């Protein structure tokens, strides 16, 4: 492809960066949902129109590359300069129904890190259930009480404060296990008057057979994102090990080959978690700290850029800053 034309400031910065570092520089993008959702409380959605504009921008200013190819290059001592890898976390069905056709149209590869348990399938992901509960009855003023860790927490929920209260409750639920969190989610659903077991079609995760379809063809890879999406470094080591080993095995059962890569749920990782990922048999792992991938990057702590619902030009400027 033709290399993008860069302004003088960008060219000078690139020359300076090259003098400071050996090898090339790449970027890994992190997406979640490709959907129009005006009520998206966590900023996980990119609209289909903006996603297509992102793909056009990638074609224009970067070198779209399979993540597996980037990882192989790191192992052999080469990083393709200007490479950009597209990744998705969680496994929402819109990745298959909306994102995949657009990626095929533009010939851009992508890697999906899928949650392999029943969360998102039998019930919505816990953060979606929380967001839905807080959105119900918006405009009304009411009290909410949750008992977390033996302590009763009380909020006066008003329209201006719902988003902030949602962030507070999200932080309280994040460190918990699935079993610890479920009763609290049911209290929230009862408080909001919503069905705790309903799975909205727009919010469901792919079933295993859909993950198999997602992985078909030369452009797409499906890897692991744990079984239940715990904040790994906040959980006991035996639980971390089970989550990592079982998710890798699930991918192997569905696709014929155990997962080679994984991404850390909520970006929560420490030295112990990193070691457990290696011991579970993975070849690489992606985090959520932003930055470029360089020759010296740790393959088990690969940085990624979180992508919000923005224009193609906004992404192009961001990529030029990260890459050049």
Mean pLDDT of the chain: 93
What would the mean pLDDT of 113-139 be, rounded to a whole number?
Answer: 93
For the stretch 65-74, pLDDT in tens is: 999 999 999 9
**Of the candidates 225, 301, 293, the residue with the CA atom closest to the CA atom of residue 263:** 225
The mean pLDDT value for 16-22 works out to 50
The pLDDT > 90 percentage for the chain reads 86
Instruction: Write the pLDDT tens digit of every residue in 161-171.
Output: 899 999 999 99
pLDDT of residue 21: 52
The mean pLDDT value for 267-296 works out to 97
pLDDT tier, 9 (very low <50, low <70, confident <90, very high otherwise): low
Write down the residue that tokens 């079993």 correspond to: 179
pLDDT of 14 reads 54
pLDDT of residue 4: 46
pLDDT at 136 over 80: yes
Q: Which tens digits make up the pLDDT trace of 209-263?
A: 999 999 999 999 999 999 999 999 999 999 999 999 999 999 999 999 999 999 9
Distance separating alpha carbons of residues 24 and 18, to the nearest angstrom: 8
Least confident among 13-27, 155-169, 257-271, 295-309: 13-27
Residue 11: is its pLDDT beyond 60? no
The rounded distance, in Å, linking the Cα atoms of 290 and 303 is 5
How high is the pLDDT of residue 310? Answer: 97
């Amino acid at each position: 492809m033709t290399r993008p034309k860069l302004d003088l400031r960008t060219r000078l910065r690139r020359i300076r960066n090259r003098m400071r570092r050996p090898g090339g520089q790449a970027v890994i993008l992190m997406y979640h949902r490709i959907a129009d959702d005006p009520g998206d409380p966590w900023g996980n959605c990119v609209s289909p129109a903006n996603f297509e504009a992102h793909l056009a921008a990638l074609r224009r200013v970067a070198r779209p590359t399979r993540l597996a190819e980037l990882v192989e290059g790191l192992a052999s001592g080469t990083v393709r300069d200007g490479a950009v890898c597209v990744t998705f976390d969680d496994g929402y069905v819109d990745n298959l129904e909306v994102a995949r056709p657009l990626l095929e149209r533009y010939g851009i590869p992508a890697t999906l890190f899928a949650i392999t348990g029943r969360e998102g399938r039998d019930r919505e992901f816990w953060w979606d259930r929380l967001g839905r509960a807080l959105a119900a009855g918006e405009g009304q003023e009411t009290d909410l009480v949750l008992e977390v860790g033996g302590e009763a927490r009380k909020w006066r929920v008003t329209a201006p404060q719902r988003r902030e209260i949602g962030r507070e409750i999200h932080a309280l639920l994040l460190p918990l296990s699935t079993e610890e969190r479920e009763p609290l989610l049911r209290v929230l659903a009862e408080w909001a008057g919503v069905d705790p077991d309903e799975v909205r079609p727009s919010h469901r995760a792919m079933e295993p057979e859909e993950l198999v379809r997602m992985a078909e063809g030369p452009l797409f890879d499906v890897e692991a994102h744990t079984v239940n999406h715990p904040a790994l470094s906040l959980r006991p080591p035996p639980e971390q090990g089970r989550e990592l080993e079982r998710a890798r095995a699930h991918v192997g059962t569905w696709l014929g080959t155990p997962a080679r890569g994984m991404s850390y749920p909520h970006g929560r990782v420490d030295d112990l978690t990193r070691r457990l990922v290696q011991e579970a048999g993975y070849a690489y792992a992606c985090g959520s700290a932003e930055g470029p991938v360089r020759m010296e990057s740790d393959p088990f702590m690969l940085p990624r850029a979180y992508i919000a619902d923005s224009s193609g030009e906004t992404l192009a400027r961001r990529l030029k800053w990260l890459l050049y």
